[in-house]
Structure 1
Amino acid sequence: MHLRLAWLVLVLLLVSRLARADDGPSSSPSTSSAAVRAARFAELSRKGDKARAAGRLSEAVEAYSDALQIRDDARLRGRLGLIALEGGAIAEAVQHLFLAFIDGHDIPPSERRQIVAAFERARPQVCRLDITVSHLGAEVWIDGELEPASIGRNDFYVFVKPGRHEIRARLSGFKDAVQTVDASKGGRETVPLLVLEPIPPPSSSSSAPPSAPAMPAAATLAPSPLAASSFPNSAPSKPAARPPSSPMERRWSFGAGGILVLGAVSQLPASGFVVSVDREVAPPVSVRLDARAAWSPFEIEGWPIRGVTVGVLPALCVTRTLFFGCFLGHLGGIGHETNTIRMPPSSAWRFRGGAGASAGIELQAWGPFQVRFTADVVVLRDRTPLRSGSMEEIWSGPSVMGGFSLAAVWRSGT
Structure 2
Amino acid sequence: MSIAAPVAAADPPTPTPAEPQAPTKPGAPGTTPIEMHDTADIHDMTVQKKPSPQDEARFKALVAEGDRARLSFRVADAVIAYADALRIREDPLVSGRLGMCIAMANAPELDFRAAHELYRAVSNAAGVNDAERALFWDTYKRLRRRVCRVDVTANNIDALIYKGDNRRATRGSFFWTFVNQGIHKWHATLGGHADIEKTVECLGSEDVFVRFDFVPLPPPPPPPPTSKETTKTVIVRESAPPAPARAAPSVQEPAQPSGSRLAFGIGPVMVLGAAPSPSLGVSAMAQYRRSGYSVLGMARGAWSLGGVENLPVDVFSASAFAGPCVQWRWLDGCALAGATLFERRVDPNLDYRADTVRQAIPAFGLGMGATYAINTALSARIFADATALTRDMVIDVASDTGAMVTVWQTQRFLFSLSASLVFGR
What TM-score do the two structures reach when normalised by structure 2?
A: 0.44
- Bigger Rg over Cα: 2
The TM-score with structure 1 as length reference comes to 0.45
**Which has more helix, going by share of residues?**
1
